[in-house]
Structure formats: C-alpha cells, structure tokens
Structure 1
C-alpha cells in the first residue's frame, strides 16, 4: 500500500493516467495527523506499485480559497478547453466559492488555476450566468458519442462527444441530496441536465463491459458510501435498471475513486482506508491497494466485482503451497510462514462445519457456514458450487479480502505488533475440506 510520508489523508482525488504515468492525488493535511488544512497531495507511478510522492498540487488559503475539497482529474486530448492539447485538468471544490479548475501543461509538475473560477458557483446572487448549486466533489469524464447519441450542439458534434460532470448536490437541502449531472463542450461553461436522487458524496460514473463483452456494456454510478447502481447513461441522464443499490465494498473503506483515461479502458479503484492502524507512524490514514473493477452477469442481475490489480504479481518473492486436506475441531491445517506482507489465495468446502476459522496473527477471518457470512460486520459471502474462495492481501497493519472472485471486497486493520509465524485454518462444529492454499510473500515497495 502507498502511504504519504507525513500527515493525514482521506479521500482519493484527481486520479488520472497521463502519457505513461499514473497520477494519484488525495485529501492531505501535511501539518497534522488530523483532518484540516485540506490540500491535494500528489504521487506518481509507472506501474501502480512503486510511488514517488511530490510536493502538493493544490493548497488552501491562496487566491481567497478556504479548503481544497475533493474532485477528479482528466486529460483534455482535443484541447477543448484551450488550456493545451493533452493538458491534465483537475476539478475540485473550493469551499469558499464553488467548483473550480486547475490545469497542467507540463505533465503534472505544476498546476495553474483557471482565471475565471468558479465554473459552478456557490453564490446564489452571482449575475455572471454561471450555474448555481450547493455541494462538492465534481467527477468529470469525457462522454464519447456512438450512433445512438444526439450531439449537444455543433461543437460537440465536431468533437464527437462532450464533457460530463457528476457532482454531489445539496441545493434543495440534505433531505433531497442527489447526484447532479452537468454537461460542457469546453470544460469552462456548464449546463445542468438532470438529478439522481438519493446519492451521497464522492460520486463516480463510468462504463464497463459485462463479462468482457464490448458489445454489451453498462454504466455504473457509485458514491462514497460504497453503494452503486447499474444502468444506462445517455450523456445527460442516468437510468438504473434495478431498484435500490448494490454493495461491493465493506469494512474501513470510503470515498473511493477510479483512474480516468486508463489504458485499455481499465477501471482501477483506490479507496480511503479509514482505519488508524498504525498510530505510532508519522502519518494517519491509509489508501487501499489498487483493485480492478469488472461487471458480470449473475443470477440476480449484473453485478460489479473487485480484484487486486494483476501487477501485484511483480512483487512476489517466496511462495508456499499446501495440498488439499480435511480439517476439523482439533485438526487444523497449519502453514508456517515468516512474513507480514503476503498474497494468500484460499478455497474450501465448508462441509458440515458451523464455521471455518482462518487465523492470521494480528487478525482472523471467521466464515459462518449456515449464515453464509464473514462474521466481521456480517459480510455476505455465498457458497458457490460447494466452495468458498478468498484472496487475502496482508500488508503489516492492513489486510484486504476479495471474496469469491471479487464479489465482495473488504478492507480492515491488523495488529501489526504481532509477528506472523504461521497461518492456521480450522473447522468448528464439523468437518470442512481445504481444497487450495497458496501464499506468495511480497517484496516491499519501499527502498
């Protein structure tokens, strides 16, 4: 996991891929281990594993600003804004005036504020013609047209698409909170198109193929509380194809974001791990390990999954495996290991057991067979074809679980003061069968 050198972190911000480099920003208080002095921290990577932290990208209390709240990043490939071809453009909430822009034409080494900020104002008395709203956390994407789309105007037709902003909106009060959609052809002038009621802060909107089929795609709207909906989006209005919302992420996970402009259309997500798992460290808060989102057709409809990025294989060092074995009360499977950073894959048939208990010093995972849940916070995890599968990433003071090929994704803290000498798996109240256990020790990303 990436960690900032000092200070407090919360929401991921501005995540974007630009000319071979992944740019990761986050809400950062560089001065204290508590929230406040909200700046945008900045780090870059070429492999999503090894990160270099840079000076902050956006700072408060300059040009009349108060706080630099959350937002997003994108690449203006067609220079629709006039900032420059392939400029990195950041959209953020300036808590004193509204939704704003900063941009970079030097590959993210420096950022300049747009001189006519805000682009959407908090001032109801503003007479400039700019849209008014109360809210935060603008997410901006490029919506490319297909044969079924009607362009916004002649300029959009020339470009073959338009910009979409999805922003958390409180204009009508908290009881009417929603996601608000705006459109633009130049990033500077925005028009309100529609509202999506019942959504919370740090929203996302993106498109994914179902089961990898490029001819069968769906749109996803996702918010900071880790609830999402699947449906159709026409560039102005989102229409869900089901009632209510679904959930993928559990545990100490909040306010995630995906990288814009990722190669191959990948949707790679990082969330704020809200646990204070290492209180002695010079920093507070954590970032989840990058995980890739996919859509799949299931019996109850289309659902999203999350799995650790494939690049993690580059960190593998020593590997351990165990042959299939029956486990029961007093006869656990034990795998010796001397590492506090590893990637574990596990598959078991719960049999007639009441519970399958996975003991990793500093934490444990208890699967309750009859209830079909991971006991911690009652996370649902079904038995599929007689098996339960888990992938567990352990990284000193944190661990993450991808259950049943990513149908649930869990982020939790671990007591890092306890050394790991073995992994013990046992069945309680009956017999289970351990079908597969494989553990790869992982190299540190830090020199």
Structure 2
C-alpha cells in the first residue's frame, strides 16, 4: 500500500548534494562542535545502532538552544541515515557518551566522514519486512498509538515516535491520517519535546461545546511531559488536529509518583464533566474537570485486581453496550511474557470504577505475544468502539530485524461484549473497513493476504515456505483452545523470548477463523469475536504453502 510522503520528504536519494568531509572542532575526548555552513535543508546524520547515544544540542545564530536530540552517531559503520532539519550557520554541540577505550579517538569517528547535506530525504521502502497494509512510520522508531480521534471523515493516529533513529528515544508525537483505517498518509510531527520533557503517550478529544475556551470543535491533546518528573500537559488545535499550540499554563495535572502517565480523556454525560484516566504505578487514577484545564482526583482502581506482574500503562475507559470496560496495558506480566493488554468489566458512575469480577480474575484482550498499548479512537462514528494496538513486545522491540523503521500497528478492531458462564468478556473483530481490502480468491498464500478457514471439529493449519520455515496453528475442540507456534517461523535469532507457542481460550466452539497475513505479522480472529491472537514473524521468504486438516480454507489477496 502506497503512503503519501510529507511535503519535506522526497523519494530519490540521487538528489543528495555532494558529500563533504566535516571538520569537527574537538573540545575534549567526548565533546565536539560542528558549524553548519551549507544552504541545504537537512544534515543527514549517520547512525550506528551499536554505538552509544550522543547528545546533540542545536544552537542558533543568537546562541539559543532549540532542540537536544539523542542520536547514535556512527563510530565505525553506518547502518542508516536520519534527517535533522537545520538552518545555515547553526552550531551542533555534540557530547558523546561512549567509552573512549572501546570507541577510539573521536576525531576518527565515521560520522564526520559520512555526514551529508541535502534538501531532501529518501523514505523509499527498502525493508522486506515492512507491512503492506498495516500502519508504520516512514522511518524511525514507533511504539504506543496516541491521541486517536475521528473528525470530518478522517481517522487521526498520533504515535510515540523517534525521528532520529529506529530505537526508542526522543519521544515525540508522530502523525498519520486515514479515510479508511487502512491507507495512511504521513503528516509532519505533531507535538515535540520542550522544557517540561519529552512527549509520552496521551489522548485527544473534540471539544464540541468549547468547554476549554479554545473554540467550538477544537481538538485538545493531553500527553505526559516526561522530564525530571512525569506531569500531564495539554495542547490545542484549531485546524482539525494538523497543528497544535501548547497551553501556556502546563502542566495541568501533577502528582507525587514516579510513574504517572498516559492520560486518556473522555466526556461523561452523567456528571457533565470530562474524565481523565491516568496510569500510576500499578493502579489507575480517575480525575475530572469541567473545562479541561482544572482537574481534581476522584478515585483509584486496581490495587487488588487483575495482573500485577509489571507497571500498568495506557488506560482507557469505554462504555460498551450496557457495561463499562477499563483497558489496562501492563509491562511486563503478559500471559506469555513481556507486555500485553488486560481489561476489567464493570460499572462507572462518574467518580469511580467498580469491577464486577472477583479481584484475582484476569482477562486478556489478545492472547498473542505482540499486542500492546491498546487504546480507542475518540469521537468514533455510529457509536463504534474502534481500537489499535502497538504490534510488538518490549522484550525484543528494539531488536527485531528491521533497520529503516521499527514497529507497526495492528489492524483496526471493533470491540463488543459476550458472556461465557457468569463472566462478561470483550469481543474483538476486525473492523469492517478490512473487508474492503479483500480482493480475488487465490490458490496459495502470499506475503500479504487474508485466509478464512471454516473449521470442522479440531483443526491443524500449517503455513510454510521452501526454506522449511513454518507457523503451526491448532484448534483443540475438546479443550476449546487455539494455539499458534512460531518456533520455526523464520528469523528467531534476535531474542530468546521470541520463539514461542501462544494459546488462547475460544469460549465455545471455533466455527470460523480469519487470518490476516502481512510481511512480518499474523493476526488470528475467531469470526464471532471470542478470540484474538497477534504474533510477529520474520520468514526469510514468504509463506507460500498452506495445509489444513479439519477445515476448509479460502485465501484472498489483499488489494
């Protein structure tokens, strides 16, 4: 699927100006300065991922510091380049943090020889594992989806983003928009770091009644400012979420806790107030406000409920049918190690959330290894609850075998409810927009396809290629479990935590299975929504053979 490049990005590396040796002003064994005397728009910084971060302070003509990104500047070899927008005459003040005994003399670092200047930056996809129909950044690192909302026919997706490398660092809100939840257009950075800190996860609301005073239908963003402490800040947009102005009295919410983040805001009719959910250590706090600026704490939830194997993060509180669902992402503590999404079903009265299950009951939204930071789009049409997840796991997210970019989002999913015995569970189905991707029937699987399996009793399904790599899926009709084994799926060398079999309850008989295959992922759904499983795979060639025992499979191309 093609993505539209942002206006500052061009498609051809051939437009690079001639490479010139950079002569740094060496001030100590770990400190250098570079004067930028070029008419180009960017300096292309050479990155080596095994190098330690170097802190780059960009100093303007009046000796004012603007940005301070951390970049793994190349010491020996160049893995890839990242663009840094510059102005002629600026000064790069660089502090290296590597050990000189292992890196050698700074004067000989590869970054000085390989640094380039250009008016464009190439974002052409050169990665065999980049998905065809999942959202990814054009380059750089991505993790949690942030600030998602629907307005004027567009789905807005912001995300945790590092524009200066493909490992976690320099948290910024990247931005993409879509009209169909499948094809995404990359837009310029939305919210960047400031004196309060880098920009961690958060949410957006459409202020239809101008409660904050920034204008009717203004888009208000809430995010965590991650500095010496974690505090909550806000920004507002009067152009539909394209650009934001930061509120002049940030931060708007503070609290005495080291882990205090990820504000999720929504309107609650019962009290005519805005509600903010916050992740605080291993509990969720509920705050309220009439004007989005002045907040008061209402209550806390979670000290004795669910899984506490790690820090609670990225909350969401949703009204689904006649119940309230509190989404609680946790890292570590997932059912198969690392990060995952748990949830609680209950009631909310505008002040506190009450869980209807016993405290030790744990419910998982997805039973794969690679489904985290799940949050919903606010202002979604037709009363839908549409969510996206980050499709990775903190155990190996920085090590997966891609370079130009790292990480993708799951396909969009709609949530509902179902009962199994005395418990209420959340159902997960691919959003209706995914049906529009379905093309003609094909004989064999490809690296981007959908497979629908009509299941007859117990079933075994094997996806494989000519290199002997395979993913085995099994449904046990007696136990009512579905399993996916990726231990021989392809490249598994980058992490001992990667080769694994994941297993999920199906809460009844599995009648039909939907599989979404992309270059580096498999998402499995029971068609009735009672099971979801998301796993990354990195085959050295596409899976092109499908064998099914105990069911009939139909394969569709993705158009």
Partner of 1:229: 344
Q: Structure 1 regions of 5+ residues with no counterpart? A: 125-131, 146-150, 152-160, 171-176, 210-216, 321-335, 427-432
DSSP 3-state at the match of 2:313 = coil
Give deviations 1:98-149, integer Å, cap 9, x for gaps: 1010110011121000111111125x6xxxxxxx98511011001113xxxx
Q: Distance in 1 between matches of 2:484 and 2:258?
A: 42
RMSD: 2.1
Q: Aligned match of 1:139 in 253, 264, 271?
A: 264
Which runs of 4 or more aligned residues in structure 1 lie more than 6 Å from their structure 2 counterparts after TM superposition?
none
Report deviation, 1:382.
Answer: 3.7
1:378 and 1:439 map into 2 onto residues whose CA distance is: 23
Pairing partner for 2:457 from 334, 337, 350 = 350
Report Cα offsets for 1:252-286 as digits up to 9, x if no partner: 11111110000011111111111659624410112
Deviation per CA, 1:44-68: give whole Å up to 9, x if none: 11111111111111111x2x13210
2:226 equivalent to 1:95: yes
Aligned residues of 2:519 and 2:542 also touching (Cα < 8 A): no
* CA 283–31 in structure 1, closer or farther in 2 if over 3 Å, else same: same
Flag the structure with more relative contact order, 1 or 2, with Cα contacts below 8 A and sequence separation at least 6.
1
1:20 maps onto 2:153 in alignment: yes
Partner of 1:241: 356
Is 1:202 the equivalent of 2:314?
yes
| Rounded Cα–Cα distance in structure 2 between residues aligned with 1:287 and 1:381 | 24
TM-score, normalisation: structure 1: 0.80
- Distance in 2 separating the partners of 1:232 and 1:239: 5
Question: Contact 1:290–1:309 (CA<8 Å) still a contact in 2?
Answer: yes
Q: How does 1:46-445 map to 2 (within 5 A)?
A: 46-60=179-193, 62=194, 64-96=195-227, 98-122=231-255, 135-145=260-270, 151=271, 161-170=272-281, 177-198=282-303, 200-209=312-321, 217-225=322-330, 226-243=341-358, 244-250=361-367, 251-274=369-392, 279-320=401-442, 336-337=443-444, 339-350=446-457, 356-361=460-465, 363-367=470-474, 369=476, 371=479, 372-376=481-485, 377-382=501-506, 384-385=508-509, 387-403=510-526, 405-426=528-549, 433-434=550-551, 436-443=552-559
Please name the residue that 2:495 is paired with: none
> Which has the higher Rg, Structure 1 or Structure 2?
2
User: Which whole-Å CA distance do the structure 1 matches of 2:288 and 2:402 have between them?
Assistant: 46
Residue matched to 1:331: none
> Structure 2 stretches of 5 or more lacking a match?
1-133, 331-340, 486-500
Cα pair distance change 1:363/1:272, threshold 3 Å: farther
Distance of 1:346 and 1:368 partners within structure 2: 11
Structure 1 residues 363 and 74: CA distance shift in structure 2, 3 A: farther
Q: 1:7 touches 1:29 (CA, 8 Å); kept in 2?
A: yes
The structure-2 alpha-carbon separation of the partners of 1:203 and 1:54, relative to structure 1 and needing over 3 Å to count, comes to same
Contact in 2 for aligned 1:368/1:375 (Cα 8 Å): no
Deviation at 1:350, TM superposition (A): 3.2
Residues 339/133 of structure 1: CA separation in 2 closer, same or farther (3 Å cut) = closer
Inter-partner Cα distance in structure 1 for 2:445 and 2:364: 35
